[in-house]
Amino acid sequence: MESIIAWGLAHLNYWTIMLLMAVESSFIPFPSEVVVPPAAYKAAGSAELSVFLVWLFATIGANIGALINYYLARYLGRPIVYAFAKSKVGKLFLLSPEKVVKAEEYFDKNGAISTFVGRLIPGIRQLISIPAGMAKMKLLPFVCYTTLGAGVWNAVLALIGYSMAFVPGIETEEQLIQKVSVYSKEIGYGIFLVVLLCIAIHLIRKRMKKSKESK
């Protein structure tokens, strides 16, 4: 895995960004923090890359990876997904039945919108498309929610990476990734809380409207 990361950092362009983010968004463990922020950091210091295109190709790649999970889960079915998670190959990909159960419970609890909110939660992000596939969620809403969630997350990572180009004391990619890992988790949880608050406000207003109509 370290060699793949090193290769990706040495060959950062729009296609490798898309490829690595597709890997990150599938069931293969790969941190998005080592892809988008370094690319945005590089875009801030040169004309080789555009921050907007870094974000765009990263989001396209995230959708590709999510669709791989979605279709595998949809057509293989629940028993095979769990059997794979229990297998030695599944363990190599850091999968486990417990992780799949966690993602499935989250999806069952929150419904279709969990494919959006789940993209912002560490530990759930890569796996939330699996229960969506097992539940045979309609493709268009799945793609829309996934694009929105992945777009928000990648925008956060791109903003952090871009801003790090103007922070003194960051001279190597390793230092950049360490800083990004800290900030991305904190900001990711912050975004998650904001999204939950918005959903709660929406549900409260919806219930208040129904209660007024019933009177």
Q: Give tens-digit pLDDT for 164-186.
A: 777 766 666 666 666 666 666 66
Is 2's pLDDT higher than 50? no
Mean pLDDT of the chain: 76
Q: What are the residues whose beta carbons fall under 8 Å from the beta carbon of 110, sequence distance 6 or more? A: 117, 118
The more confidently predicted of residues 122 and 55 is 55
- pLDDT band, very low/low/confident/very high, at 190 (cuts 50, 70, 90): low
Residue pair 30/20 in contact (Cβ under 8 Å)? The answer is yes
Residue pair 23/65 in contact (Cβ under 8 Å)? The answer is yes
pTM: 0.73
Predicted pLDDT of residue 52: 93
Buried b / exposed e across 28-61, counting CB within 10 Å, b at 16+? bebebbbbbbbbbbbbbeeeebebeebbbbbbbb
Predicted pLDDT of residue 106: 67
d(CA 102, CA 167): 38
Is 26's pLDDT higher than 50? yes
Hey, what long-range contacts does 89-94 have (CB within 8 A, 24 or more apart)?
A: 93/27, 93/28, 93/29, 94/29
- Cα–Cα distances in angstroms (integers) from residue 172 to residues 22, 34, 163, 177, 209, in the given order: 25, 12, 15, 9, 55
